[in-house]
Structure 1
């Protein structure tokens, strides 16, 4: 149990993580009850070049999931019902649900459009409130929500996935529970990190303790502290603040200050490819491009351009960054160059995906990125990148959020 101290009083905190089940699809089915027993996906129409934003549980029986290209979903289930997304409706219903939660629970910590936390000092109180809130959401909005309850936020979030949909799961012993979980179940441990942990023989959270901290530090650097905190559950509950991504980017510091246009453009190209990988993984796109320049005397300036369309592919990022670079008159050699994409939103929810011109292009893109994930970024390179022999980015990875990870 976690104890919090405020002044001369100490008290226990119990958390509920409330997660609406297949939110977008559930909202659409609630407004079209005749589709209740049909596989349904939100994500445009069969002629659009988009991805599945949300899939009903009936659709998931066919292996359809969020982020899947629509053509693949239709191949798996030809009779799939496809509904165009209505983001304004989802936001409106989300606000109504969060308002209800705040009124009934007395507090709320939004995490995303369909997830939130609330808390209580009493275990019995949090259980009764959670059950009541679930019931009211089901009655009023005709959708289901799953709840995970624990004395640690991160454990409550994991627990909400235990019995979906319409799930309810209470964790009595948070430390015992999380130590038995697969490392991939832990928020913050993605596919790449899980693969690296598995390569060290770490498959379950409890096995993290079997690895000396010096080895963890060598392989995971600053992230090693997070891993140890997870294994011992000595982790701050501030880890889950609302963290909507604002921008994604990279900087690169040159080995030697340079005036050479080809070298600068080569690294802008490499940075663009790094950015594309992260944007693809999280299904993000953006429309505000910023290029950062730092001279050899450390004087730094930026050039920004708001684009008429949303982009995420490396080619588009590179093309627009090159235009910005061409507009700059360098007065001395550069020490550093950086590119970041802002105005971030979820890709595929608002419209078609311009990069995937057809199924062939989509499969090619998936194949190339699969090779890069397996064999490294430099396993496939563009002709223009051959100008530089060292293609490693030596700089800062940029992911700006509305909240800070503690």
Structure 2
């Protein structure tokens, strides 16, 4: 393999859904806005504007809690057809510079610009051009991270939001990661961060003191990823055709159900069916999501991420029941239940155990 360093950009739109709404409806600009949820406290927030985030409002937060934090919060219904259209236009801007684009969702993507189509040569200049085009043509802002691999680029894009541009070159990676708070590492959720702090791991340098074996003993397969991420090792290529991000199963009932005991029974059956589906695909994941649709066709979703990879029905059901215990279904008739698993173990990470592309 060539020793040429790759040039990777991670582009992440700033408060995407909320920013589109504020762009299209001037009366919402500068206001604390939540896309999704409702003023009666039902549902959850899909995206919050930066004005709302100042009060602590976050995505996946219940409307009830969001209102407690920000009583003057404005709610608006999501317009997914509009967001998809804008996302397509953003993708077209990316395509001016490279065909190696790996979308992660409607509002973020990895770009490999090692050999860019316009011969610019500088990933930083390309990131600037992309940000400018998005702002001038679409009236939105994006943040970008630039580095030599996907992992570092993603961390960089979140480092100076909104409208940020952060470059972390090879000579800076080691010191940057050693001083980075552990909760800032991509892939370390709140639960894992708390567990790490229990072991005295607060920054990257603390994490670096543990061997790969010790980390795998404490965190399972994720330990292997943690060992290499803190060293900046990541050979994963930018994949234009991403595999499915989640695998799920759901059931719509002939007659709405009201009793929570019946719902638990249904969730158990769904987990058993999902285990069979996963075994056929040799998949293990960390994030379980439940979906509950009511008789009035409103629905809620709840997700929880495990500290280790799972695929058995028992492991999934444990998380499902934990999520379900917090879901308000009292006196509500349910017409559909669903369970899905995502955040899959990436076989490409196995390559990190024998990295070809060293960053320092």
Q: TM-score of the superposition, structure 1-length normalised? A: 0.63
Q: Secondary structure at the match of 2:230?
A: helix
Q: Secondary structure at the match of 1:26?
A: helix
CA offsets, 1:34-68, max 9 Å, x none?
A: 22121111014313621111111111122211111
Structure 1 runs (4+) greater than 6 angstroms displaced:
308-311, 344-351
Q: How far is the alpha carbon of 1:154 from its aligned partner? A: 0.6
Closer/same/farther in 2, CA of residues 50 and 237 from structure 1, 3 Å limit: same
The aligned residue for residue 129 of structure 1 is 126
The aligned residue for residue 78 of structure 1 is 71
The aligned residue for residue 14 of structure 1 is 7
**Is residue 2:158 matched to residue 1:156?**
no
**Is residue 2:102 matched to residue 1:109?**
yes
> How many residues were matched structurally?
295
Q: Secondary structure at the match of 1:46?
A: coil
Structure 2 unaligned regions, length at least 5: 278-287, 303-317, 325-339, 349-360
CA offsets, 1:304-324, max 9 Å, x none?
A: x5558999x9856533257x6
Q: Secondary structure at the match of 1:11?
A: coil
Q: How far is the alpha carbon of 1:23 from its aligned partner? A: 0.4
The aligned residue for residue 246 of structure 1 is 246
Structure 1 unaligned regions, length at least 5: 249-287, 290-304, 326-336, 357-375, 383-397
The aligned residue for residue 336 of structure 2 is none
**Is residue 2:265 matched to residue 1:319?**
yes
Q: Secondary structure at the match of 1:16?
A: strand
* Alignment check: 8 A CA contact 1:244 1:401 kept: no
* Alignment check: 8 A CA contact 1:53 1:66 kept: yes
The aligned residue for residue 32 of structure 2 is 39
**Is residue 2:61 matched to residue 1:65?**
no
Q: How far is the alpha carbon of 1:402 from its aligned partner? A: 8.7
CA offsets, 1:342-369, max 9 Å, x none?
A: 9x9896999744699xxxxxxxxxxxxx
Q: TM-score of the superposition, structure 2-length normalised? A: 0.70
The aligned residue for residue 196 of structure 2 is 197
Q: How far is the alpha carbon of 1:165 from its aligned partner? A: 0.7
Closer/same/farther in 2, CA of residues 402 and 98 from structure 1, 3 Å limit: farther
CA offsets, 1:189-225, max 9 Å, x none?
A: 2222222221111111222232244432322232222
Distance 2:14 2:293 in 1: 17
Q: Secondary structure at the match of 1:17?
A: strand
The aligned residue for residue 139 of structure 1 is 136
Q: How far is the alpha carbon of 1:149 from its aligned partner? A: 0.6
Distance 1:309 1:163 in 2: 50
The aligned residue for residue 338 of structure 1 is 272
* Alignment check: 8 A CA contact 1:244 1:403 kept: no
